[in-house]
A and B are shown apart, each in its own frame.
Chain A
Amino acid sequence: MRAQLMRRTLPSLVLGLLFLSTPAMGSCLDKYQELLAQLQKQADIMQRTSLLLDPYIQSQGLDKDGLKEHCRERPGAFPSRDALQGLGRWEFLRTLDTTLGRVLHRLTALQRDIPKAQDLETLNRAKQNIRGFKNNIHCMAQLLPGSSETTEPTPTDPGTSPSPTPTSDTFQRRLEGCRFLHGYHRFMHSVGQVFREWGESPSRSRRHSPHQGLWKGTRRMQLSRKNKRLLPRGQLPR
């Protein structure tokens, strides 16, 4: 039990330390490679099923033969690895940000079915990690070439984020939650791979699309001049 707790807690602590080096709101890490490495590490940690999926399966009694097999990601619930790899960097970051926003809302809905305080704490830590990751995505978006506008960083408090309407059938909701978490970890695994590819080919940008069009319909934020001055344009891969 203690080992299990350690297995759950340790990655969260590591993530917490990683986020400590990430300026939360307003200021970003301005070194591309460092930020990229940080995103990779975060993605690597967030893909671990011991953070969310395993405790969920155990608390919901889904760790039985015949049930576990149905705890698989529903096709289309999350972008596939190929789809992510096929995106340009701007599109990739935007997709990542949007998807993680959905994940946050869904995790909030899942809280209702988790009775144990320990599991709730695990869930809340995971949500904090996602928020931190989204902030880093925002920072990365600023470092991409030609960035003059990007998404708004995730607020610390989810506030009035709408929760998806839960299914009234508890069993079905339980399975869906399990599938969702499975997909989430798989998605983060793919995200880590894409970020790794960024590091391997820093000058290559897939299907670089004019980002102005891609961000249509999303909230935009004009960076402050102070922030712009901090951007080390010369270091970025062109």
Chain B
Amino acid sequence: MALFSVFQTTFLLALLSLRTYQSEVLSEPLPWAPESLRVFINSTHQCLHLQWSVHNLAHHQELKMVFQIEISRIKTSNVIWVENYSTTVKWNQVLHWSWESKLPLECAKHFIRMRSAVDDAKTPEQSFWSNWSSWEEVHVQNSLGHDPFFVFPKDKLVEEGSNVTICYVSRSQPNNISCYLEGVRMQGEQLEPNVSVFNLNHVAFIRETGTNIYCKGDQGDSIKGIVLFVSKVLEEPKDFSCETQDLTTLNCTWDPRSDTGLLKQLSQSYTLFESFSGKKTLCKHKSWCSWEVAPESQEMYNFTLTAENYLRKRSVHLLFNLTHRVHPMAPFSVLFTDVSATNATMTWKVHTTGNYYTLLCQVELYGEGEVIQRNVSVEVDGKQLFGGLKPDTEYRAQVRCANANHFWKWSEWTRQNFTTAEAAPSEAPDVWRNVKSVQGHSVVTLFWKPLSKLQANGKILFYNIVIENLDRSSISKLLSIPAPANGTELNLDQCLYQIHVTANNSVGTSPASVIIVSGDPGNKEVEEERVKGMEDGFSLSWKPQPGNVTGYIVEWCDHPRGPLCDLQWKSVGPTTTSTVVSSDAFRPGVQYNFRIYGISTERVPYLLEKKTGYSQELDDAVCCKYRIDNPKQKTFVVENLQPESFYEFLVTPYTSVGEGPHGAFTKVTTPDEYSPILIRIILPMVFCILLIMIICYLKSQWMKEKCYPDIPDPYKSSVLSLIKSKENPRLTIMSIKDCVPDSIEVLNKQEGTRKSLTETESSKATYLYLLPTEKSYSGPGPCICFENFTYNQAASDSASCGHVPVAPVAPLSQLGLLTSPENLLKALEKNYMNSLGEIPAGETNLNYVSQLASAMSGDKFILPTNPPEPALCSEYKMQMAIPLGLASPPSSGSSSLSSVTLLDEGEHYH
């Protein structure tokens, strides 16, 4: 146990002595510690550059070392970065290290220190850290100036999508500074009392001139800001390719993709580097670059295209053999030699791309819808013969070449046109005839169709017509008809003629077309058949001829209504017995006649069949045609047209030969059916009504007297008939002679006791009811004189005129009662009684003396002193309407007027 204790103590002592030694060693300065540490600031890139050296290294000694660098912000204890930097240190070497700060260096103080350790196998005993160097302080704010505040970083260039930290540094505390990004206020964090920080994440590209970020003080008068240049992310060039046309210059092209979108001086640039030659060139253009091929015939090229801006590099590589990238220039001097009607030789030259290069050239020939393609191997000059061409035809030739050994790209086409020479027409013209017999002669009209371009082989200049009399073979005649005529007229006798027609161009004559013409037109009587037109024309068929025929001809007129029927024909072979005749000239509603001829082996045509029909029969349109035989007639009425319909008409002259040319149709729309009828009825009616109204107006007085006189004749009155009808023999028309007139006496009335109009209304109304007035009067109307010869004239006059103004309007109920004779009588009686009863004493007294009453009952009323004399009057006289001014009595003295005076005045009214 004691032994164990001694051993343990010894071990502990040994361990302690070892620790003590180690601590002594560590406390000594490391012989290779970093010295002369200096810090440089790059504000633009927000970088700190450290520079130091390691002393005590032996001459030519190299040592692997590790330098631990520590960076603090604001205060030394706030370490924000620790990094171990390993490098090999040489004697007397100055070491460098850089660090980029995310925060602009102006925003805060930074402190840097470092220590070192040997990391070399040669000196393992030195593998521990040296002491830290002293802190180096970086404080950029000291050199800012005297402005109230500042914003950092200035003019920073970042890529789109980056994160950026911005700060402002204020000279004063507290501060009320607001910061904005493109007008939008930003929210920041306070880093120090006078420093605020704004973190922008994923900044976006806004414009080429950069993004404006600015801060303003609370007064708003000072503004500070920065421009943040945000570039688009540089993309890798696409489709990088190089080729040569002449083996002396390489042309490299690429797609630069989108521009990084900054000011010109900040935009990306392109560099071309060739690794074999070690040459490099800065490209002037963004999408292509030229490269001079080395004169020493370098075949292999390894290019690196580098796109670069301030932030990024993008490279693409291309390795190729120069001879495999030959893109020849377009051939030149394309010529055509030995051009005939059917052959031509094409020659061309190519640009030399080296003596030993063979080119493959492609030649194409276009003409008349055909394409001829040839491949030719060419070293210097190219040549190609084309045969089987068509005469008088324009051809377009083109040629291009490529490297025959290593095809890369075809050159551009070089084009040239040429035209082959003419040849004699290859086909005989298609000939037909029309024969008419005129006065023992035959008028033969020859027609021929122009040769097609393929048949003519050039420009047809004229047609030769040889007329051979077969009856008298010695006689023949030659006519030359210049082109482009397509027919001629011949006057022949009744002999048999053989006519040869040939077409001629500048080179030669076509084969002849032969036709036999005799005096007999061959138009034997055959039955005409109806055919129906189809969409594509007329389908015609005929019976095959038992004998030998060389062919058939179908003949028709394109314009059967026209003066020139425009004769057409169609030739078919001897084995054909049907055909479809079509023509653009066919019109609906027009009848077309077809004649089918057979051509005998003697080439004599004879009529086989006739057919007629419409290409399209019109159903919904009425086609009328009128023949006007009188040439002097200038008008024509077309009847039985439908109302409200659209018609087209034309007038064309005709002669014995046929109709004249058809001009334009005149368009007419007929009016509707009912308008004329209505006009015929309404107008006379209006006229009659007007006439009647005028007559009535002119004869109104007569009509009035006859129909409704002012004073009706009682003898003509219907009242009488009514009375008679009631078989009342006591009632009859009163005769004046039988009348004992009543008298109404108006007595004088005191002024002061006179009542107002309203007070006397009832009496006045009673008076009015006696009057058969036709009209009501508005307002205080005139006095109304009532003359009735049943009363005493004087009394009547004195009572009625000028004293009592009457109320003009009678109650309708009472008026209504008066319409019947019974009611009238009742009303008379009643009102008379009322009037008598209601007239108050002291007023104007109206004394009514009934002749009947005096006689029958001996009334106490005083009879008039002057009994009236009956006047020679058998009917009522018209009531007189007196103007108020005249009728009204003077305000004073009226009551003193004697009845005589009134009578005198009243007499003037008769």
Contact = CB atoms under 8 A, between A and B. Distances in A.
Interface string B207-245: 111111110100010011111000000000000000000
Interface string B134-176: 0000000000000000010011000000000000000000000
B209 A67 contact: no
A66 interface: yes
Given A67-B212, A170-B155, A171-B226, A113 B182 contact: no
Contact of A61 (B155, B212, B226): B212
B183 A169 contact: no
Given A66-B180, A66-B183, A113-B263, A174 B227 contact: yes
Main secondary structure of the interface of A (DSSP, over half): loop
A133 B163 CA distance: 49
Contacts of B182: 61, 64
Contacts of A113: 209, 263
Contacts of A65: 183
A171 B212 contact: yes
B104 to A, nearest CB: 14
A171 B227 contact: yes
B209 to A, nearest CB: 5
Nearest to B208: A115
A61 B214 contact: no
B206 A61 contact: yes
Interface string A36-74: 000000000000000000000001111011110110000
B293 to A, nearest CB: 35
B477 interface: no
B154 A61 contact: no
Contacts of A175: 223, 225
Interface in B748-793: none
Contacts of A168: 154-155
Contacts of A67: 183, 212, 214, 223
Contacts of B151: 171
Contacts of A226: none
Interface in A157-182: 168-172, 174-175
B524 interface: no
Nearest to A61: B212
Name the residue among B154, B206, B212 with the largest chain A CB count within 10 angstroms: B212
A64 B213 CA distance: 11
Contacts of A170: 154-155, 210, 226-227
B225 A61 contact: no
A1 B774 CA distance: 88
B148 to A, nearest CB: 14
A60 B151 CA distance: 19
Given A168-B154, A175-B223, A61 B180 contact: no
B426 to A, nearest CB: 63
B183 A60 contact: no
B226 A115 contact: no
Contact of B263 (A69, A70, A115, A171): A115
Interface in B173-217: 180, 182-183, 206-214, 216
Contacts of B262: 115
B264 interface: yes
Nearest to A60: B209
A98 to B, nearest CB: 30
Contacts of B154: 168-171
A219 interface: no
A58 to B, nearest CB: 9
Nearest to A58: B207
B500 to A, nearest CB: 75
A216 interface: no
Contacts of B220: 69
Nearest to A68: B183
Interface in A187-232: none
A171 B264 contact: no
A115 B155 contact: no
Contacts of A116: 208
Name the residue among B206, B216, B227, B264 with the largest chain A CB count within 10 angstroms: B227
B212 A62 contact: yes
A210 to B, nearest CB: 43
Nearest to A170: B227
B263 A61 contact: no
A171 B213 CA distance: 8
Interface in B228-275: 262-265
B212 to A, nearest CB: 5
Given A115-B264, A169-B155, A171-B225, A66 B208 contact: no
A171 B151 CA distance: 10
B212 A64 contact: yes
Name the residue among B154, B211, B225 with the largest chain A CB count within 10 angstroms: B225
Contacts of A171: 151, 154, 212-214, 224-227
Name the residue among A65, A113, A169 with the largest chain B CB count within 10 angstroms: A169
Contacts of A174: 209, 212, 227
Contacts of A61: 182, 206-207, 209-212
A43 to B, nearest CB: 30
Contacts of A59: 207, 209
Given A113-B263, A115-B264, A171-B225, A64 B209 contact: no
A5 B226 CA distance: 29
A63 to B, nearest CB: 9
Nearest to B154: A169
Nearest to B44: A168
8 smallest CB-CB distances across A and B, nearest first, come from A64-B183, A171-B225, A170-B227, A115-B208, A170-B155, A171-B227, A61-B212, A115-B263
10 contacts: A59-B207, A60-B209, A61-B210, A61-B212, A65-B183, A113-B209, A114-B209, A171-B213, A171-B214, A171-B225
Interface of A: 59-62, 64-67, 69-70, 112-116, 168-172, 174-175
Given A64-B183, A115-B264, 12 more contacts: A61-B182, A61-B206, A61-B209, A66-B183, A66-B214, A168-B154, A171-B212, A171-B224, A171-B227, A172-B225, A174-B209, A174-B212
